[in-house]
A and B are shown apart, each in its own frame.
Chain A
């Protein structure tokens, strides 16, 4: 089990290295960079939705808050991009904290609607507060990060930065879900009452994971702003929140590595199909419905479940008492 996990990390590192060495095409590298940024968002949303079972239909708002904090501070106030990133994290997580306190007392549809409403309000403010945000036409001229005098302004250099972050976030998240707190999260998803009866402070835990996932989103937003050097509200609307949910659903609810897959598939797909642009919405809708109807734990998990079920069925109903723990 441990070697299996090690192999995954090794595989990720080697793939990244190989990509860096072999890919000499800025378009492909940029695409990979966006996959990385989306992965950060999806892992965060998956912690909240897949693990803790708390839905957010407004996650794009935290992404936008990170991006706009970085964008506004660096362009209007000349703040250093790294400092702006940190402040973006602060704004994103603080907003999540303030919204989360009342919102997470709500359940199910009410929570969905509250997060959705919050997302739409942020989107409208990004459009309307023109003197700050530049309005619908966006904010341009956002500086790139620079490291020891080296500007991270080519896709190759950004690749190194973004995928280092992805590796870090994946590691932190994988640790988290396989811990006392991670078990409490999953417990909360299945039965809030039972979790509370064992001493899990469910309200506090929901808030913690909400803020934590907003932190990932803000990080992704700031990276996005300094990668593209331009942001506009269109990237942070309701439809993008739905896109993120679709990525979680494709990658698999409660699956850290699936998040990487979900982000990759739904970032590459639109690029592959030229006709996809018009069909994009239809395909997202169809994916959400079909997967959730037949595989409520997500696409990858659903396929794995079917595979495991068949394996179990073939072995007969045998209890596997593998006593040696990891």
Chain B
């Protein structure tokens, strides 16, 4: 098995009296797709917020490529090579689809205030490169035709694809997808699945939070199951499907 890319060790977080995550430990080897599933409120999105620096764990440590990253601000973690999408899509609504993806290149380009204001020659070359890579990402998700439209006008399904394109433009090593299939129709979901697998084939490591079980089972090599903030099971999809605690957790609660 490939070396461990992301390593969570005993991560805990409570909001007031509510324990959102309790001693969660798991590892994500490089180059695989790992799914995190669990009923609503199990702590999946909280987990993403912790990995990407939007929240800080009260206990436990998170290692990315062997370096501790817990508690670091989001932009620092992003610059290390972790990109994400958001459960409630967070696009730059007043910018065009293409510009949204161009922001994804932020961490890989360097024009600062003065260089930008003076439009130094090298920044033009950088802009050209940003533009090309952004087009590439748009074409990959199939949104090139929408490039000049404001992001706000896209239907929800395409908005989710745009978020993925934007994250990909930052050339991450680890991509966190938070319910990418919600709001997508069957056809779109199928395409999404193919896309995720294609990304994995390119060597990208992906963590997927998803309620669509058929998609999850199809693409994931490993699944971690959270319930009430605790990791209750971990393993390959087949084992998870038969895991008694997982079955109990799902049947015993109203998940959609």
Contacts and interface: CB of A to CB of B under 8 A. Distances in A.
Q: Determine whether A and B are in direct contact in the complex, meaning some CB atoms lie less than 8 angstroms apart.
A: yes
Interface of A: 172-173, 175-176, 179-184, 186-187, 189-191, 193-202, 208, 212, 254, 297, 319-323, 325
Contacts of B110: 180
The secondary structure that dominates the A interface is: helix
Contact of A186 (B74, B95, B135): B95
Contacts of A191: 90-92
A198 B54 contact: no
A101 B201 CA distance: 45
A187 B96 CA distance: 11
A199 B79 contact: yes
A179 B122 CA distance: 12
Given A198-B170, A322-B148, A180 B109 contact: yes
B145 A254 contact: no
B86 A194 contact: yes
Contact of A190 (B91, B126, B135): B91
B23 to A, nearest CB: 26
Given A180-B106, A193-B54, A172 B118 contact: yes
20 contacts: A172-B117, A175-B119, A179-B123, A180-B105, A180-B127, A181-B116, A183-B106, A186-B95, A186-B99, A187-B103, A193-B54, A196-B54, A197-B167, A198-B83, A198-B103, A200-B75, A202-B75, A319-B146, A321-B148, A322-B147
A199 B77 CA distance: 7
A15 B170 CA distance: 44
Contacts of A196: 53-54, 73-75, 78
Contact of A321 (B74, B113, B126, B147): B147
A175 B74 CA distance: 28
A193 B163 CA distance: 13
| Across the A-B interface, the 8 shortest Cβ-Cβ residue pairs | A199-B107, A179-B116, A196-B74, A199-B78, A194-B90, A190-B92, A172-B117, A191-B90
Contacts of A175: 116-119
A194 B116 contact: no
